[in-house]
Structure 1
Amino acid sequence: MKKKLIIDADIGVDDAQALMVAIADPDVEVLGIICCYGNTPLENVLKNTLRVLKVCNRLDIPVYRGCSEPLLAHKRHAGDFHGKDGLGDVPDPDAPCLELLQKKRGVPAMIKLVNQNPGEVTLVATAPLTNLALAAQLNPSFSKNLKALYIMGGNTESRGNTTVCGEFNFVADPEAAYIVLDRYTCPTYIATWEFSCRNSLPWSFCDTWLAQDTDKARFMEKISLHTRTMVQTDRYQKELVSGPGFNTCDTYAMAAAIEDTLVTESEEVAVTVELEGKHTRGMMVLDYMDLLKKKHKVFVMKSIDLEKFKQLLMNALK
C-alpha cells in the first residue's frame, strides 16, 4: 500500500527539492499539489510546480490553484531569496502552460481528496498555512479524516528568519497558522526553522548531490545557484544563524512524512501562535507549563537520521 500524500506548497527552490523527494519514492502516491502564495506570487508558484513536474516526467499529478494572499495579514513574500520567480530566475522557454492546471480550486479539491480517502492521506504543508486554515473553516471535520499533518514552519527558540522572532511560513499568515494549530486534531509533526538549521548538511554533500549525471540534477543545480550563492555569504550566516551548511528546510518535513524512521527525537507539546506582539507576531509558542489546557499536542522534531535523509535527497535526482 503506497503512502497517499497531498502537498500544499509555495514552490520555490526548497519546495522543489521536497517535491522531487516525494515523487522519487516508489512507495508514495501524490494525490495532488495545492499551490499557495509565499516564496513568490501565486502565478509563479503555479508555473514552478509544473516546471518541477515536467523535469520529473510527472505532469500527470494534479495541480490546483490555492490562495493568493493571507487571511488578514499584509501580503509578503520571501524577497529575492530564491530569485524573483522562486526558481533562481533561470529562463525556461519550454515551461508547461497553465492550461494543465485543474479547473477545481485548491481548497475544495483538498477537502474532496481527503474525504474520498478517510484516514489514509498525509498532508504535507511547506507554505503559509492559508489553504489549510480555509479547509478547516469550510469543513470543520476535515482534519479528522487526515492520517497525519506534517508542517515546515514555526520556531522553538524565538529565532526568526523573517522578523525578529518569526519564521517565514508562520509570519506570512499568523492567523492561518493559529487556526491550523488550534483546530487540526490529527497527529501533527512540525519541522521548525531552528530544527532545520541544526540538521543542515555539509556543502560537500550538496556538491556531490548536484554532480549526478541526470537531467534532474542539472535542473536543480541551475535553479539553486542563486540561493546557494546568497546562503554562503558571511552576511547571511550572521543574520540568520542558519549554520555552516546546506539547509533544505521544506524537505525535512517531506522526508519525515515519507520515512517513518527518519525522526530520531521529538517532543510532544501543546503549541499556539502569537497574534498581537509587536516583535513576536507569528512566533510559535510552546506551552511546557500546560497553561493553555489544550488536549491536542504536536510532535516537534528535534533530530533525524542524517544518512537516511541524504539518501532520500540522492534518490530524488537520480
Structure 2
Amino acid sequence: MEKKQIIIDTDCGIDDAQAIMMALAAPHVHILGITCVFGNAAVENVCQNVLAVLSVCEQEGIPVFRGSGSPLVTGSCLINDHFGGDGLGDVITDKDPHWEGKIQKEHAVNAMIRLVSENQKKVSLVALGPLTNLALAVRLDPCFPQKLKDLYVMGGNMEGKGNVTLCAEFNFAMDPESAYVVLEEFLCQTYVATWEFACRNMLTWEFFEELINQDATAARFMKTITSRCSAYSKESLKNKRDIYFGAGFVSYDSYAMAACIDSSVITESIECPVAVELQGVISRGMMTLDRTKELKKSHSVCVFTTCDVVRVGQLLMGSLRQPINQ
C-alpha cells in the first residue's frame, strides 16, 4: 500500500510533540517535512523542539524547515506560556548547541510549496499552529491550495468559547489575518479540529497517567516535559478549561493528526462555510460557522464535532512506544 504523504506545519509545544510522535508511529505515513512557525514559543525554540522530538524517536532523517517568526500583519503577537517559555515545559537542560546546522537552509514556505508541487494531489498538510506559513504560501503561489490532497487544521472554535481570549482559540488569535486568508482561499478539502471539539472529546486523567508511564523512551520524554507544566495540572485547569468542559486530559493537536492518519476516527462533523472575525474588540480571531448560509459563500469546510475517543487513545498510546526498534 502506498504510504500517505504528509507535511506537518507546527509551533511545536507539548501537544504538537504528541501529534508529531503519532505521525512518526503510523506505519502507513510518510512525513515529507516538518515546517516550523512561531506560536507556543519563538520559532527558534520551535525548531529545536521538533529536532528534540525527532531525536527521541530516532527519526532525524526527516527535514525540518524554519518559517515565520511573527504574524502576517501585526508586528507582535500575544505572549502565552501555556507550555512554558520554550514550548516544552522549560525542563530540557541539555539542549543541542549545534541545532541550527540541522535545520534546512530553505525557508519553510518555499519548502512547503516545492514539496507539494513535486507531489501534486498527494500531500495532506496538517497545520498545528498559527497559519502564517500557509497564508504566505498561497500569496507566493496562488495555485498552492489546489495542489494539495487535503488540509487538516487544529484551531478555531465553533461555539464562541476561547482559550486565550474570551472568544478566540490560541492558534487563530495569534494570527487572525492568516486564519482568515487560509479559510477564504484554500479551496481544497479542508478539515477543522476546533478547540471545543477537542475538549468535548477529552480523555481521562487516568488515561494520561497510563500514557506517560509506559516503559518506552518517548513516554519518558513526555513524562518529563509535562512534569512542571500547568497545562497538565488538574489544579490549574479548575478555573480555566474545566469551567466549560469538565475535568480531563486533552491533547489538542493530536485530534487533527488522528483524523489525518485514520479518517474513521471522526464519527460526526458539520459541513458548512466558516468565517474568521478580524475587527471585533472581544471576538477578533473567532471562527464562526455559517450553517444557514447567510454569508453566501461557495466554499465549505468540514468541522469535526465528535470522534472515536477510544481510537484516539490507541493512537496516542502507540505514539509513545518509540523508538519502534527499541
TM-score between the two structures when normalised by the length of structure 2 = 0.94
1:40/1:77 contact within 8 Å kept: no
CA drift of 1:74 comes to 5.0
| Residue in structure 1 matched with residue 208 of structure 2 by the alignment | 206
1:81/1:230 contact within 8 Å kept: no
- Structure 2, unmatched stretches of 5+, are 322-326
| Residue in structure 1 matched with residue 112 of structure 2 by the alignment | 110
Q: Are the structure 2 counterparts of residues 61 and 10 from structure 1 closer, same or farther at C-alpha, using a change threshold of 3 Å?
A: same
- Comparing 62-71 with 80-89, greater Cα deviation is found at 80-89
| Residue in structure 2 matched with residue 247 of structure 1 by the alignment | 250
| Residue in structure 2 matched with residue 53 of structure 1 by the alignment | 54
Q: Are the structure 2 counterparts of residues 115 and 261 from structure 1 closer, same or farther at C-alpha, using a change threshold of 3 Å?
A: same
- Comparing 78-87 with 112-121, greater Cα deviation is found at 78-87
Report the 3-state secondary structure (helix = DSSP H, G, I; strand = E; otherwise coil) of the residue aligned with 1:238: coil
Counterpart pick for 2:297 among 281, 294, 297: 294
Q: Deviations over 1:121-163 (max 9, x none)?
A: 0000010000000001111110101111000000011100011
2:82/2:230 contact within 8 Å kept: no
Trace 1:249-268 onto structure 2 (pairs within 5 A): 249-268=252-271
The amino acid across from 1:259 in the alignment is D
Trace 1:1-318 onto structure 2 (pairs within 5 A): 1-73=2-74, 75-77=76-78, 79-93=80-94, 95=96, 97-227=99-229, 231-233=233-235, 235-240=236-241, 241-318=244-321
2:191/2:301 contact within 8 Å kept: yes
Report the 3-state secondary structure (helix = DSSP H, G, I; strand = E; otherwise coil) of the residue aligned with 2:229: helix
Report the 3-state secondary structure (helix = DSSP H, G, I; strand = E; otherwise coil) of the residue aligned with 2:237: helix
Q: Deviations over 1:87-122 (max 9, x none)?
A: 011124253622011110000100000010000000
CA drift of 1:229 comes to 6.3
Distance, in Å, in 1 between the alignment partners of 2:286 and 2:175 is 11
TM-score between the two structures when normalised by the length of structure 1 = 0.97
CA drift of 1:295 comes to 1.3
The amino acid across from 1:204 in the alignment is E
2:131/2:182 contact within 8 Å kept: yes
2:82/2:231 contact within 8 Å kept: no
Q: Runs (4+) of structure 1 moved beyond 6 Å? A: none
Distance, in Å, in 2 between the alignment partners of 1:178 and 1:34 is 20
Distance, in Å, in 2 between the alignment partners of 1:310 and 1:82 is 21
CA drift of 1:242 comes to 4.6
CA drift of 1:288 comes to 1.6
Distance, in Å, in 2 between the alignment partners of 1:42 and 1:116 is 26
2:7/2:34 contact within 8 Å kept: yes
Report the 3-state secondary structure (helix = DSSP H, G, I; strand = E; otherwise coil) of the residue aligned with 2:105: coil
2:226/2:232 contact within 8 Å kept: no
The amino acid across from 2:315 in the alignment is L
1:75/1:172 contact within 8 Å kept: no
CA drift of 1:243 comes to 2.9
2:277/2:284 contact within 8 Å kept: yes
Q: Deviations over 1:191-248 (max 9, x none)?
A: 0010011011001001111111111110000011223565411x53333335311100
Q: How many residues are matched? A: 317
Q: Are the structure 2 counterparts of residues 222 and 77 from structure 1 closer, same or farther at C-alpha, using a change threshold of 3 Å?
A: farther
Distance, in Å, in 2 between the alignment partners of 1:107 and 1:229 is 30
2:197/2:305 contact within 8 Å kept: yes
Report the 3-state secondary structure (helix = DSSP H, G, I; strand = E; otherwise coil) of the residue aligned with 2:227: helix
Q: Are the structure 2 counterparts of residues 78 and 131 from structure 1 closer, same or farther at C-alpha, using a change threshold of 3 Å?
A: same
- Structure 1, unmatched stretches of 5+, are none
The amino acid across from 2:203 in the alignment is L
2:157/2:286 contact within 8 Å kept: yes
1:78/1:168 contact within 8 Å kept: no
Report the 3-state secondary structure (helix = DSSP H, G, I; strand = E; otherwise coil) of the residue aligned with 1:190: strand
Report the 3-state secondary structure (helix = DSSP H, G, I; strand = E; otherwise coil) of the residue aligned with 1:226: coil
Percent sequence identity is 48
CA drift of 1:13 comes to 0.3
The amino acid across from 1:108 in the alignment is N
